[in-house]
Amino acid sequence: MSKLKTQQGPDTANAAEQAARFRAVFERLKKEIHKIFVGHDELVGHVLSVLLSDGHVLLEGVPGLGKTLLAHTLASALQLDFSRIQFTPDLMPADIVGTMVLHEKEGGGHELRFEQGPLVANFILADEINRATPKTQSALLEAMQERQVSVSRRTIRLPEPFIVVATQNPIEQEGTYPLPEAQVDRFLVKLLVGYPQEREYHDILERTTGTELPSVEPVSSAEEVVAMRRVARSVEVSEQVRGYAIRLMMATQPGSAYAPAVINNAVALGSSPRGAQGLLLMAKVRALVDGRFAASCQDIRDVAPAVLRHRVLMSFEGQSDGVHPDDLIRAAISSVGELSS
């Protein structure tokens, strides 16, 4: 940990040593999370990849599957400044970014002081994000993209690392406000949290109903996360892999040269360039975790459903035919070839 912390950049150290260190921290984080959060190994890997790719996560699942627990556990394992914001319909932007509050001076009189909101933290858990109004949801836009919040004439830089883990419930849509496309596009991945396996239920019940509750030890820090993000960005991406990511992203856009027929029929709006950026960043982390120094087309394929599923806007025909975005991404993957020529 200390070695990575003192490095000025990846050029000054051996790449293999940095990659090994990266992999070790990654595995240790995953192991620590699994002390509390049972199962869903791929889901945890994706969340950690997003953390190290400098992105944000949108977790979607029915209640009771441990979405909030996963975010809370990750924050505890990282020793990060953690804020949990429960999004409700009456939540206002000032409630999360901060506002001016009237304070009484010691010598008499009053003054207005700025009280920063819970958004100024390293790790934000936006619970049930689709229950707040679009006005409040949009308050997150600047924080997620620019890493700053603006209140009145004051601009506050958010601390590094900054990650938003938002959760939403796919059912009970009455009284909710679906996230606007601009907001959804800010999330690097959208992960679907499913039910655990049968053997995982045994572990869950054993850990949560006994007398001794497991606890999470911090295995990393904010500085180390920032250093790991630098290492992840140093991973090489060849022109072939980059072209493959671009073609895959374009294949989700109806009317493009690479889009298969099912996408032309069922998709109204394809992925934005942020999709290709997300593919490469996630593929880099995946290559490092796999012990490689360059991303591959297989890495792109592995992360494509998580990165692209929320960037595909279904058309009326697609919705009426019951087409799932993951089916479309699989069709796009099968229609795009690896060879660059």
In the structure, how many helices (H) and strands (E) does the chain have?
A: 15, 11
* By the rule CB under 8 A, 10 interacts with another protein: yes
Question: Smallest distance from the beta carbon of 320 to another protein, in angstroms?
Answer: 5
Q: Which of 1, 13, 216, 313 binds another protein (CB under 8 A)?
A: 13
Q: Considering only residues 131 through 190, tell me which ones interact with another protein, judged by CB under 8 A.
A: 170-171
Locate all alpha helices (DSSP H) within 114-238, ordered by sequence: 134-146, 181-184, 198-208, 222-233
Which residue stretch of 76-84, 124-132, 182-190, 231-239 sits at the interface with another protein (rule: CB under 8 A)?
A: 231-239
How far apart are alpha carbons 102 and 43 in whole angstroms? 45
Judged by CB under 8 A, the residue of 240, 256, 272, 335 near another protein is: 240
Q: Which of 90, 104, 174, 198 binds another protein (CB under 8 A)?
A: 198
How many chain residues touch another protein (CB under 8 A)? 48
- In the complex, least distance from residue 247 CB atom to another protein, rounded to whole angstroms: 14
Residues 92-121 that bind another protein (CB under 8 A): none
DSSP 118: T
The nearest distance, CB 128 to another protein, in angstroms, is 16
Angle among Cα 188, 38, 311 to the nearest 5 degrees reads: 20
Q: Residues with Cβ < 8 Å from 175, sequence gap 6 or more?
A: 89, 131
Q: Output b/e per residue, 156-174; b: 16+ Cβ within 10 A.
A: bebeebbbbbbbbbeeeee
Minimum distance, C-beta of residue 303 to another protein, in the bound complex (Å) = 14
21 binds another protein (CB under 8 A): no
Residue number, 234 or 256, with CB nearest to another protein: 234
Stretch that binds another protein, among 69-77, 253-261, 304-312, 316-324 (CB under 8 A): 316-324
* Binding status of residue 15 toward another protein by CB under 8 A: yes
Of 143, 184, 168, 163, the C-alpha closest to 83 is: 163
Of 82, 177, 258, 293, which lies in the binding site for another protein, with binding defined by CB under 8 A?
293
Return the structure tokens found at 290. Answer: 């796999």
Burial, 75: exposed, middle or buried (Cβ in 10 Å; 0-12, 13-18, 19+)?
buried
Among residue numbers 61 through 90, which ones bind another protein (CB under 8 A)?
A: 61-62
Q: How big is the chain by its Cα radius of gyration, in Å? A: 21
Q: How far is the CB of 141 from another protein (least distance, A)?
A: 28
Residue 243: alpha-carbon gap to chain centroid: 24
Residue 226: exposure state from Cβ atoms within 10 A (0-12, 13-18, ≥19): middle
* Of 11 and 90, CB closest to another protein: 11
Piece of the chain touching another protein by CB under 8 A; list 176-184, 205-213, 307-315, 332-340: 332-340
Calpha distance 170→87 (Å, rounded) = 15
- With b for 16 or more beta-carbon neighbours within 10 A and e for fewer, the 35-71 pattern comes to ebbbbbeebbbbbbbbbbbbbbbbbbbeeebbbbebb
Q: How far is the CB of 43 from another protein (least distance, A)?
A: 7
Question: Does 192 help bind another protein (rule: CB under 8 A)?
Answer: yes
Residues that bind another protein (CB under 8 A): 10-11, 13-16, 18-19, 39-40, 42-43, 61-62, 170-171, 192-199, 234-236, 238-241, 287, 290, 292-294, 296-299, 319-322, 338-341
